Chain A
Amino acid sequence: MKKKQIAITLGIMCFLLTIAICVQIRTMSSANSTVSKTLSDNGLRDEVLKMKEKYDTTYKDLENAQKELEKVRQEATQNDSTAEAKEQELKENNMILGNTNVTGEGVEIILQDATSTNNSFNLSDQLIHYGDIQWVVNELKNAGAEAIEVNGQRIVNTSAITCEGNIIKINGERIGSPFIIKAIGSKSLLYGALERAGSILDVIRDYGNTAKVTKKDSITVSKYSGVISYEYLKENK
């Protein structure tokens, strides 16, 4: 009799205990535990990769369509001298706007964050900041550069070089060290402007960062990958 009583009590206790454990486990699994967090992180990463792939294929399609358009234009203007002149003008304007890859003599500048810790205590000093890039770009423009590219991002008239926390964005695309700036223009003029005493490159080097300028006889600046569109602009009559 006593043993039966004990068994029933223990059974009831275990019953209550397992109910509580089940409820607790279900609550915890539905809550934002670390496991579910990493799982959702993985899902987000997958999503990003998928979107990037989609973007890449769309971009390729766009490039193909542009080539097609070019072909059609050429065919249409083959036997028409005025249209041919227009076509030439269009090409030139596109080149100036930054819509095509361009080649010419110029300079290549490589800016790199300091790799080894020097005697500077301020970690911020050992980084290339967006201001440095802006300064270099301004210096290049001032020296007559005709086309400038930073890490594959063409500087066009709508380009912005911004600081977004710990990354630098150009044309809305994030870029990082090392920064390879390519500029087309008179190579000796550009080189002289950048390597003069007290130039921005001197300042960058003073902080322990790397800044290299090389003259190039032929350098290719890639085209602007975005779309130039205007919404509010109207011609003044």
Chain B
Amino acid sequence: MILIAIILGCVIGALIGINLPMISYTYSGYLAIAIIAALDSVFGGITSTLKKNFDLKIFVSGFFGNAILAMLLTYLGQKLNVDIYLAAIVVFVGRMFNNLGIIRRYYIEKWSFNKEKKEEKEN
């Protein structure tokens, strides 16, 4: 169910995104960092769904809040001549790998658990 929703969202998003107008090159850096933040939120959402502690409010606020905060930090970094966005990227990508590891472990455990069960049944 969740998987279908994600795939459907991605396909529709890609179809619409192709036809949307381009943004100017100056702002593409902000959009990029927002994308990383949003990607991190989505992975976090999937992980929390698997852990069964998914909270809609936390998820939505995290999705938009992280993206906006990351963009603001990038802007501030540009004004201060410090590449703050690098810090944001490190944090978000690190968390993404973390969440991906949790998801992977969950499914592998589930798969091996099912296999064991099957073997037990056969015996």
Question: What residues of chain B lie closer than 8 Å to A26, measured between beta carbons?
Answer: 17-18, 22
- Across the interface, name the chain A residue whose C-beta is closest to B46: A10
With A3-B2, A6-B56, A21-B35 known as contacts, the answer to whether A14 contacts B10 (CB < 8 A) is yes
Query: Which residues, 16 to 38 on B, are CB-close (under 8 Å) to A?
Result: 16-18, 20, 22-25, 28, 31-32, 34-35, 38
Query: Smallest CB–CB gap between A24 and chain B, Å?
Result: 5
Scan A1-38; emit 1 where CB is below 8 A from any B CB, else 0: 00111111111111111111111101110110000000
Q: A9 contacts B56, CB within 8 Å?
A: yes
- Across the interface, name the chain B residue whose C-beta is closest to A20: B35
Total chain A interface residues with beta-carbon distance under 8 A:
27
Q: A24 contacts B5, CB within 8 Å?
A: no
Question: What residues of chain B lie closer than 8 Å to A24, measured between beta carbons?
Answer: 28, 31-32, 35
Total chain B interface residues with beta-carbon distance under 8 A:
37
The CA of A22 and the CA of B20, in the complex, are separated in Å by 9
Q: B56 contacts A20, CB within 8 Å?
A: no
Question: What residues of chain A lie closer than 8 Å to B25, measured between beta carbons?
Answer: 27, 31
Q: A11 contacts B23, CB within 8 Å?
A: no
Chain B at the A interface: mostly helix, strand, loop or mixed? helix
Q: A16 contacts B13, CB within 8 Å?
A: yes
Question: What residues of chain B lie closer than 8 Å to A6, measured between beta carbons?
Answer: 2, 45, 49, 54, 56
Is B80 in the interface zone, CB < 8 Å from A? no
Contact check: which of B5, B18, B49, B63 meets A11 at CB < 8 Å? B5
With A7-B4, A27-B28, A28-B28 known as contacts, the answer to whether A17 contacts B18 (CB < 8 A) is no
Q: A20 contacts B38, CB within 8 Å?
A: yes
Contact check: which of A5, A13, A22, A28 meets B17 at CB < 8 Å? A22
Query: What 9 additional pairs, Cβ within 8 angstroms, besides A10-B45, A14-B42?
Result: A11-B6, A13-B41, A14-B9, A18-B11, A18-B12, A19-B14, A20-B38, A22-B14, A23-B23
Residues on B facing A (Cβ under 8 Å): 1-2, 4-6, 8-14, 16-18, 20, 22-25, 28, 31-32, 34-35, 38-39, 41-42, 45-46, 49, 54, 56, 59-60, 63
Pull 15 A–B residue pairs with CB atoms less than 8 Å apart, ordered by A: A5-B56, A7-B2, A10-B45, A13-B41, A14-B5, A14-B10, A16-B13, A17-B35, A20-B31, A23-B20, A23-B23, A24-B32, A26-B17, A27-B24, A30-B22
